[in-house]
Structure 1
Amino acid sequence: MAKVSSGLSLSTNYFMRNYYANNRDVIKNSGRNDYTKIELSFEDSRALTRASKRLLNNDYGSETDEKDNDISDTTRSSIEAFVTTYNNAIDSSKTTDSHDTKRYLKQLKSLTSKYSSELSEIGITVERSGKLTVNEDLLKTANNSKVRKIFSPDQEYSKKAYSICGKFNNAVRDDIVSQINGKGLHINIAL
Structure 2
Amino acid sequence: METKAKAADANMEEYSASSTTIKFDDPIPLLRGPIRAGPHDDPSSGSYLLAFRSPQSWAAAFRSCESRIITQCEEGARIGCAVSASNNCKPPWWRNLIGPNTIDFKDREDCEVRQMEACLVVAKEKCVGFAKEKLSTPFRDARIAGRVSPKEVQKARQLLGSDTGYEPFLQVMQRYV
Q: TM-score, normalised by structure 1?
A: 0.26
Larger radius of gyration: 2
